Every structure is written in structure tokens, then in C-alpha cells.
Amino acid sequence: MASSSDPTLERLANSVLQPGFEGTTAPDWLRRKIAEGLGSVVLFARNIETPEQVAALTASLRAENPDLIVGIDEEAGDVTRLEAWTGSSRPGNLALGAVDDIDLTERVAHDIGRDLHAAGVSLNFAPSADVNSNPLNPVIGVRSFGARTDLVSRHTAAWIRGLQEAGVAACAKHFPGHGDTVVDSHYGLPQVTGSAEEIALTALPPFIAAMEAGVRAVMTAHLVAPAYDPDLPATLSHRILVELLRGELDFDGLLVTDGIEMGAVTDRYGIDGATVKAVAGGVDAVCVGGESAEEATVDLLTTALVKAVLDGTLPEERLVEASRRVTEFARWSGERSRAVARALERSDIGLVAARRAVLVRHRPGTTPVTLPLTGAPHVVELSPTMNLAVDGHTPWGVADPLRDLRPGTTSVRLTEPELTHTTDVLTEAALTPATGRDLVVVVRDAARHRWMTDTLTRLLRSRPDALVVEMGVPAGDALGAAHLITHGATRVSGIAAAELLAGAGA
């Protein structure tokens, strides 16, 4: 029996971890862990300043291991890491699904892949293959291509083809489908209540399409699907990961966890217990470090995995199998990345796609408003608290790009606490500055936020001529004198909406 300090076991344990870290240069502890067998690292917005800096960072990490897996969560759209400080230059999945042009989707994904490849990234935790069948979903929403299984399936496949042609491996998520949920897995444990037959018809086809498109990695979901396993979340479930995904669906690629420190699994099992159960259940790589990004966390998880092998909780052959899959994936992704020539030129495909995704609707029975606006408007942006998948610092909205196009535009951004605790805020900040001017009200997933729909109703009662821009998942009838739907809150989505309002752009 191996000892508790067995270097072979420790190396195996290191190889299945995918940690994040702090800083824009590689810390000494991370270099040391790579030398000790760490097979992957994950980049977050905190690690990114410029494309050149990221490329230098990844090159320094690969000095220890040329096939090191460098992962990132670059969905584009609302979930961006490379462009977290400026806003994404490409629209997200819902906008692409709204256009429903698979060639456009493939081109956008290829454009993302070029940037990632140039930055030294080899694995992208995207696309979301979730069918957003529940419009009140708090964590998927605009990250999904839409609410129809066939649409999500074909765009998932196109996105994967485009990304991987640029030399970056894709990862379809979140298996077996996070679309029909009402709980954010960062904080609680969602449940999918459909039968196995319903899930097979609605949620699984996009993952099958992903495999047919050549995807080599799948990310698990932190949710319970009682139709398959009434007890364990999918990330920890042998029935879902091995019997369903590997057995029935015949997937033999890399299986990665969603962030293992998320409340859905750590609240029940602790971060170390969840890690052990995930690997025992069939996962190959454990993603960690979105919030717990220090050496102590890696040490804790390595120790937990080694201890679990020694006490029989985790069969050693299962850890060996997981490590083998990580190594095989690292070799494949490394060779693929090196085989693709670097292409640093940028294209405008993101803005082209964002423009095509904007939909203008009018209330039935009313005279359609004439666009563009004739003067500089006042813009009121109602800002919700975003889930942890979306970087809270990423710019969004219509006011800034509209100000560039229409000098003199004024704006205010309001949050729920401000509206709850300040009785005259709507008059002072929204209505009074708009006197004699066009009023543009910008919302983001209004249907999911009662305070936002109530505020919008009050504004439209006072100003029925206001124009409404929805930058989240659209729901319900057209609102205001005109209702613009961008299908996402990316930087280019805001530009595209501003161009329509101001009469600029192509």
C-alpha cells in the first residue's frame, strides 16, 4: 500500500486538478505544482490585462510542460474573460440563435478561437449546450442559443466546429442540461424534474450534436436529475456520468466539473469531499479557483484525493483512468494548437452578428415609432445583480455608445436598492431629465426581476412614448413606443442598439 506521501499518488492527484490563481504573472507555487504533475490551469479575468500579457503568461506556464492545458471560460456574450474590462466584441449565444444562421455562428466562434489561440489558450469551457426551456432560469438565460432543442443542437455543433478549426478545444456544458432550472447552482442545488424520456428529447440532443461535431470535452452540471439519480448531483453521479454519458451516449473524451467550489456541491460535501466524489463518480478533471484561487486549496484537494485512495473511498484505478484521460487530452489539444498557424488579425464579424440579432417590435394597435430618434435622449438603465458566471465589472448598456453617436445624451443607471429606498428617484433621475426629450429605458432580463418590471411599468405609465431596450431574455408583449431586443448585453449589442436609435452604422 502506498504511503500518505507517495509521490506517484500525489502526481496523479495533481494531474486531475484545474486550478485558477491570482495575478497576471505565474506565481512560484503554480510553477512548482506544474513541475509536480499539475495538468491544467484556468484563467479568469483577474489574470488578464492585454493580449500580449496573456500570451507571455501562458508561454511562461508552458515552460514547465509544453502540453499544459490552459483553460478559460470564454463564451463571449455576457460571459467573457478576455474582454471582461471592455465588454465582449462578439454577441453571445442567444443573439446567434435569434439570427439562426449556422455559418454566422461558426464564423463568430472561429473569431473567438483565433484570439484564444493567440493568447495560448488550449481549452475553452464553451459553448453552453443548455436548452433554456425555462425563461426564468437565473444562471443560463442569454448564454443559451434558445428554448428549442433543434436550434440549440445545430448551433452548438456549429460553434464547436468554428472554435476547434482555430486550434482551441471546445467543451460542451452543462451536462445533462441546465436549462430547465430555477436555482442558481453557485448558491444552491437545482433540480430537473422531467422524466428520463423528456430529458432525452429536450436536453440531451445538443450534447449528442456536440459529440458528432467532434467535441473532446464535456462539463458537468451541479444539479439533481431524479429521473437518473435521485440522490447525487450530476457532477458526482456514476449513473449520469458513466452509465448515461459514457455508456448510452458513448462519450470517451475529457469530463470536467463545473467550478467545484460552487454552493450546489460544497454546501453538502465540502470542497474536498465534492472533489473526491466527483472523481469517484466518473469525472476526469476538477475545475477550481474561481473563488478559491490559492495554493492551500490545491494542497487540500491533492491531499483529499490521495487520502481517499489510501482509505479505499476512491479506487486507485479510477484516479489512474482520470489522469490518463487528462494526459491524452493534453497531448491532443497541444498538438492541435501547435498545428494551427497564429492568425492575429481581427474581423468585424462580432458587430455584424450583433446588428443582425437586434429585433424591433411595436405594441399591437399603436402607430410604429419612427427611428432614428431626432435628438439626444435621456437613457435610464435598470441594472440587476448578475450571477457569478458573469463578471460584474464588465461594461454593458446602451447609454455610452449612444452618447458617442448622439452628443448630449444623458443617462442614469439604477439598481433595486436605490429604487427601494429612495421614493422620488424615478422623478429625479429618470423622468425630470427626460422632460422634452426622448426617453430610452434599458432593462436586462426584466421578466426575472419583479422590481424591474414594476419600475418599467411606472415609467411607461408616465411616459408611454418611451422606447424600451431589452438586453436579456425577452418575454411577453412589446413594451413602450418601440421595443428593441438585443438578445444579450455585450458591448457590441449595445453598439448595435445605439446605432438603430441614432441612425448610424452599416
In this structure, are residues 179 and 131 in contact, taking their beta carbons and an 8 Å threshold?
yes
Let me know how long the chain is: 506
Q: Which of 155, 174, 178, 186 is catalytic?
A: 186
Compute the Cα dihedral for 222, 226, 230, 236 and give only its sign.
Answer: negative
What whole-number distance in Å separates Cα of residue 68 and Cα of residue 323? 13
Judge contact between 178 and 225, C-beta under 8 A: no
Question: Which residue's entry shows cell 429536450?
Answer: 202
Task: Reply yes or no: is the peptide bond before residue 222 cis, omega within 30 of 0.
Answer: no
Q: Is 355 within 8 Å of 47 (Cβ atoms)?
A: no
Determine if the peptide bond prior to 364 is cis (ω within 30°). no
How far, in Å, CA of 202 to CA of 130, rounded? 10
Residue in 73, 184, 258, 284 annotated catalytic: 258
Cell of 410: 444623458
Helix (H) or strand (E) holding 177: none
186 labelled catalytic: yes
Furthest C-alpha separation in the chain: 81
For residue 417, the tally of other CB atoms under 10 A from its CB is 10
Q: In sequence order, which residues have a C-beta less than 8 Å from that of residue 255 and are 6 or more positions away?
A: 217, 218, 220, 241, 245, 282, 283, 284, 285, 325
Q: Is 109 helix (H, G, I), strand (E, B) or coil?
A: helix
Indicate the helix (H) or strand (E) that contains 163.
helix 149-165
92: nearest Cα among 383, 400, 357, 446: 357
Asked if residues 401 and 200 have their Cβ atoms less than 8 Å apart, the reply is no
Say if CB 468 and CB 447 are below 8 A apart.
no
Close Cβ partners of 299 (under 8 Å, ≥ 6 residues apart): none
Distance from C-alpha of 228 to C-alpha of 303, rounded to nearest angstrom: 31
Contact 496, 117 (CB under 8 A): no
CB contact set of 50 (below 8 Å; sequence gap of 6+): none
Instruction: Tell me the C-alpha to C-alpha distance, in Å, between residue 378 and each of 241, 416, 468.
Output: 52, 20, 12
378 phi and psi, to 5 degrees? -105, 130
Residue 258 falls in the annotated catalytic set: yes
Active site residues: 186, 258
